[in-house]
Amino acid sequence: MLLDDSPYDLGLLYKLYVRFVADSFVYFRNFALYITLWFVGYLLVCCVVYRRYARRLQTRTRGALGAKRVLIVVAHPDDECMFFGPTIFRLCEQGNHEGKGRIRQKELWDACLELGVPQQNICLIMDTRLPDDPKAQWPVPVVAKLIHHSLETLDIDTLLTFDRGGVSSHSNHSAVFYAVAYIFVEKIMPKSKYLYVVLSRYMVINTLRRISLADIELELEVDD
C-alpha cells in the first residue's frame, strides 16, 4: 500500500496536532500567569497585614507578665540566641515605638551634636514605666520625681518644656507638662527657678512664654 493510499488524512492530523500543542501552550502559559499573579497578590496582602497588625501585637514578655527583673536560665552557651533571642531582645528594648528605638536614640545624639549640645549634657532616661508610646499614660508622680531630681542635682535655674497641649497633642508630651505642674503646685520647685513652655497654638513659630504658678493652676482648671 502506498503512503498516499492511507485511509487517514495525514495533513489534517498534523494540523490538529499543531493546534493541540499551540492551545496547550497558551493554556499552560495563562495558567502560570494566573498562579503568579495570585501568588504575588497573596504576598502583598500578607505584607500589608503584617506591617499593619502583626508587628504591633504585644508578645508575652515583661509588659504582659508585669515583671521588673528577669532571670533566664539556659543549658548551653548558644541557647540564649537559638531559643530565647526574640524574648531577650524584647526585654532589652527601650523606647522602641514602631521598632525605631536604636534609630531614635542615635538621632537624639546626632541632633544635639549639630545643635552644639555636649554629649555629657545629654540625659536619656530608660524607665519601663515610661514607654515610648502615644497610647501609654505616664504616671505623673514618676515623671515629676525624675525631673525634680535633675533640677536639684544639676542646679538648674530655668526649665523649658511643653504646655498642656503637648504642642503636637502627644500624650507623652502632655505628661511632661503635668509632671512639671505637679512640682509647682506641690511647691516642690524652689521659687528661684523659672519655667518656660512652648505654646501649642504657636507651634509654627515655636514661641516660648514664661509662666507662673497662677498660670499653671489656670491651665489645670481649664483642663478639668
Output DSSP code: residue 58. P
Q: How many helices (H) and strands (E) does the chain have?
A: 9, 3
For the whole model, what pTM was predicted? 0.51
Give the C-alpha separation, 179 to 130, whole Å. 13
Q: Are 133 and 170 in contact (CB under 8 A)?
A: no
User: Is it the case that residue 174 has pLDDT exceeding 80?
Assistant: yes
pLDDT at residue number 112:
80
Of the pLDDT bands very low, low, confident and very high (cuts 50, 70, 90), residue 181 is: confident
What integer pLDDT is reported at residue 54 of this predicted model?
Answer: 62
Residues linked to residue 198 through DSSP beta bridges, in sequence order: 162, 208
Question: What does the pLDDT average to over 111-126?
Answer: 82
Separation in Å, CA 71 to CA 26, 58, 61, 115: 62, 20, 12, 41
Q: What is the DSSP letter of 53?
A: T
**Mean per-residue pLDDT, 29-42:** 91
Per the CB < 8 A criterion, the answer to whether 219 and 185 are in contact is no
Above pLDDT 90, what percent of the chain? 7
How many CB atoms neighbour CB 170 within 10 A?
A: 13
Residue 42 has pLDDT above 80, yes or no: yes
pLDDT surpasses 50 at 205 = no
Q: Is 182 exposed, middle or buried (0-12, 13-18, 19+ CB in 10 A)?
A: buried
Q: For residue 161, give the DSSP letter.
A: E
